[in-house]
Structure 1
Amino acid sequence: MKPNIGTLNALIRITCGFTLLGWGTAKLVKRSHNSSPILAMIMGSMKVAEGITRFCPIVFMYEERQSNNDDFTEEAFPPVNPS
């Protein structure tokens, strides 16, 4: 698993992730019966993990799909060599 996001992107993800975690924790302290803070905390923890590891599965899947589409395009439309 090699890093696929940059350092600045990772720092932004960590910051936003800790913000979501803090917001969710504060909301759960006030009202524990609401489930939206739990969802925010899960998303925040995922963003913190992505920032620390500098690996985003969504970016990985997008890059894989792009490389597969490029291969298909080259097979369907081979390059024309003018003579």
Structure 2
Amino acid sequence: MKQNIGIINSMVRITAGLSMLTFLTIRSARRKDASVHPMMIVIAAMKVAEGIVRYCPLTAAFEEMTEETDGKEEGWQQNFQKTQM
């Protein structure tokens, strides 16, 4: 597993994740009828974990999708130029 986010990005993720976890925990503890969904707590914890290990699976999937495999760039500009000729 190769690290794919920088140090600043990881610090932001840790800070945001801990802030979200704190807010959600306090909100659910104070009000019994609070609509804090457990999935929101899992997402906040995932952000903290991503910051600690400096690996984001969504970033890795996006980078893999946009990676060129044949060496040729195939963007919309090339398709646009072909249609005008």
- State the TM-score bracket (shorter-chain normalisation): 0.7 to 0.9
Separation (CA, whole Å) in 1 of partners of 2:37 and 2:45: 12
Contact 1:3 1:55 in 2 (8 A): yes
List alignment gaps of at least 5 residues for structure 1.
78-83
Picking from 63, 74, 79, the partner of 2:72 is: 74
SS at match of 2:4: coil
Q: Aligned residues, how many?
A: 75
Give RMSD over aligned pairs. Answer: 2.3
The percentage of aligned residue pairs carrying the same residue is 36
Q: Per residue, is there more helix in 1 or in 2?
A: 1
Q: CA deviation at 1:71?
A: 2.2
Query: Using a 3 Å threshold, how does the CA distance of structure 1 residues 5 and 13 change in structure 2: closer, same or farther?
Result: same
Separation (CA, whole Å) in 1 of partners of 2:71 and 2:36: 43
Partner of 1:61: 61
List alignment gaps of at least 5 residues for structure 2.
79-85
Contact 1:28 1:37 in 2 (8 A): no
Residue type matched to 2:24 in 1?
G
Q: CA deviation at 1:36?
A: 2.6
